[in-house]
Amino acid sequence: MFRFAHEYAPKAQLVYNDYMSWGDGYIKHRAGVLKLLHEFRRRGTPVQALGLQSHIGATEDGSEGTSARGYEVEWRKFLDEASSMGFDLLITEFDVNDREFPSDTARRDASVAAIGKAYLDLTLSYPRVKTMMCWGMLDPVSWLQDRYPRADGLPQRPNPYDGEFRATELRGAIAGALREMPQRL
């Protein structure tokens, strides 16, 4: 598929995009991704970048919670290895699943912003990160509302803007991480 795409669009950046998170429950998955990336290089497959579908927070496997503590070392190892193979990195889908976070809106928003900022600070510290996209801008239309509803019945607040188009704390965290990241050439 990548060879075919390269033949017909030789100037297009070809990206292997994969659902993953930085939580411990994704260690085995990330090892498989690295194996695939090594195979791409070994076979001369024309892939230039790895897309990181960054759905963090309360992930499908339950490995993440309200804190980013403990994920940094393994995530950095993963990014180091992918970068060392010459792949650009793209954050292709970013949101924070808050289904396990406190019900209190202020506490929940603070937790969402903190984990989002920690993830972005680390990931954006890599100069090979060339793109960062949110997977939705408004909370009410997030895919997480239906797919992963909160047990308390409250709507999730995973995006940079709420249903009234007001900036959430996550929006401030994203802006701060972008301001503080190393400058790209």
Q: Do the domain assignments include residue 63?
A: yes
Indicate if the alpha-carbon torsion angle 18, 22, 24, 30 is positive or negative.
positive
* Structural domain contains residue 82: yes
Structural domain contains residue 15: yes
pLDDT, one tens digit per residue, over 55-110 is 998 765 555 655 556 788 899 999 999 999 999 999 999 999 999 899 999 999 99
Is residue 185, in this structure, part of any structural domain at all?
A: no
Residue 153, in any domain of the structure: yes
How many domains, the chain?
A: 1
- Structure tokens given for 155: 């709507």
The pLDDT value recorded for residue 107 is 94
Q: Is residue 97 part of a domain?
A: yes
CATH number at residue 120: 3.20.20.80
pLDDT for 31: 96
State the residue range of the domain holding 57. 2-180
Whether 114 maps to a domain, the answer reads yes
Asked if residue 28 belongs to a domain, the reply is yes
If we measure between CA atoms, which residue out of 169, 75, 173 comes closest to residue 126?
Answer: 75
